[in-house]
Amino acid sequence: MLRVGLTGGIGSGKSTVAGRLAEHGAVLIDADKLAREVVEPGTPGLGQLVEAFGAGILAADGSLDRPKLAAVVFNDAEQRERLNNIVHPLVGMRTAELLQGAADDAVVVHDVPLLVEKNYAPMYHLVVIVDADVEKRVHRLTSTRGMSEEDARARIAAQATEEQRRTVADVWLDNSSTTDEILRVADSLWADRLVPFEANVRLRRPAVVDPRTTGPDPTWPRQAARLIARITLVTGLPATHVGPTADGVPAQDVIEVEVTVGDNAEKVAEELSAAGFPGGDGVHHSADPGRPATIYLRQ
């Protein structure tokens, strides 16, 4: 299966993108939805919250009163950490169950609000960031969610910065325009990248691309860093950005990475192939049609 991490700041419209990809057939795992499910009345999760924060966080019907809980944790880092230590493991277990139940040929879109903040990006084959102009986001939050402008700006400021998101983004979707436009972009992402990427990962075949020769691209080091993070996660081995794109000279737009292996080259080759970098005989290629890459295994 193809694992896609989807995130974006509050008011960016990532739910619109998530919904569109689900319409195309993606298996959508919504972390926020799961976070609500694991603390519904009668669940062990709700019991743990009451034990931690008291019965005052409950509504009259025994359900979780989210505004009351938010008032307790929003401006208290220690209390937020306490909340996260209860909810996040429960969400993680439920997420694992859903992943296990997904088909082998599924495109799984994991909608995770804190993907950047929690450094989850290397866990996915692809990370999609939905963004929008700050003023546009403030307008959406005040007009559709009833927030005050002060509250909207505070919530935006409390999240990851644009620079932090760009660091992990394989795909950057600007949702500052119309709904029709972002839906069109989501359609193209599905058809042109996610569907062929999934097939390549499942069949363990490299993407067929014709990389263009271009001038130095200042984003090459950042793109290489994302690939290296994924490679290191699955192999546990050091990797280095090499070749012309590392030198910052005009070159084919192919990121080259060198992985240092010892006597376990066969095991590493299998790990890379399963993770979306198929190949053999010391040379692997990316299965992503949107990001050509070559990985060399060196003794």
Parallel, antiparallel, or unpaired: how do β-strands 283-285 and 293-298 relate? antiparallel
**Alpha carbon of residue 286 to chain centroid:** 18
Q: What tokens appear for 209 in the block?
A: 């691309």
* Radius of gyration for the chain, computed over Cα atoms and rounded to the nearest angstrom: 21
> Which helix (DSSP H) or strand (DSSP E) does residue 255 occupy?
strand 255-260
> In this structure, are residues 4 and 108 in contact, taking their beta carbons and an 8 Å threshold?
yes
For the annotated binding site, the residues are 11-16
For the annotated binding site for ATP, the residues are 11-16
Torsion from C-alpha of 210, 215, 221, 224, nearest 10 degrees = 10
Give the Cα separation of 74 and 53 in Å (integer): 13
Express the helix, strand and coil content of the chain in percent, nearest 5 each: 50, 20, 30
Tell me the torsion sign for CA atoms 55, 57, 59, 62.
Answer: negative
